[in-house]
């Protein structure tokens, strides 16, 4: 019985730490780029898009498709960085255990 109580206490502590990590991830800003910095995208540590910035030189009305591609690449780059950061934070919580869990972005 004592072992079960200790296990439950550890689980509650981990849950509290996980909540802290989620709050920290919300406050982070990670930036992805494309086109040599012509397009940048900022996401928080959870991968939620916060801002897209375009260099005026990237805006060519005759080639909207290229701009769309650059935005897609910049957002994907930022989200990849956010996922790596989140995985690193969760890994610290798990004490380096390799948990079979992937973030949803």
Write phi, then psi, for 95 (nearest 5 degrees).
Answer: 65, 30
Q: Is the model more confident about 31 or about 8?
A: 31
Mean pLDDT of the 60-81 span:
97
Distance of CA 98 to the CA centre of its chain: 18
Is the whole-model pTM more than 0.85? no
Is the pLDDT at 19 greater than 60? The verdict is: yes
* Any domain includes 99: no
Residue 97 pLDDT = 52
DSSP letter, residue 61: G
Coil, strand or helix at 15: helix
Coil, strand or helix at 93: helix
* Any domain includes 100: no
* Any domain includes 104: no
DSSP letter, residue 62: G
* Any domain includes 6: yes
Q: Give the CATH number, domain containing residue 13.
A: 3.30.1310.10
The string of pLDDT tens digits covering residues 73-95 is: 999 999 999 999 999 988 887 76
* Any domain includes 87: yes
Q: Which structural domain range is residue 44 located in? A: 2-93
The overall average pLDDT reported for the chain is 88
* Any domain includes 12: yes
* Any domain includes 103: no
Mean pLDDT of the 7-28 span:
89
* Any domain includes 105: no
Q: How many domains does the chain have?
A: 1
Is the pLDDT at 103 greater than 70? The verdict is: no
Q: Is the model more confident about 101 or about 75?
A: 75
């Amino acid at each position: 019985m004592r072992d079960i109580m200790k296990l439950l206490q550890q689980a509650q502590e981990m849950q509290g730490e996980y909540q802290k990590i989620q709050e920290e991830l919300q406050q982070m800003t990670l930036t992805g780029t494309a086109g040599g910095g012509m397009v940048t995208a900022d996401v928080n540590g959870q991968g939620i898009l916060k801002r897209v910035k375009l260099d005026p030189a990237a805006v060519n009305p005759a080639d909207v498709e290229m701009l769309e591609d650059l935005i897609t690449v910049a957002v994907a780059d930022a989200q990849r960085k956010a996922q790596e950061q989140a995985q690193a934070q969760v890994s610290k919580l798990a004490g380096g255990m390799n948990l079979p869990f992937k973030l949803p972005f």
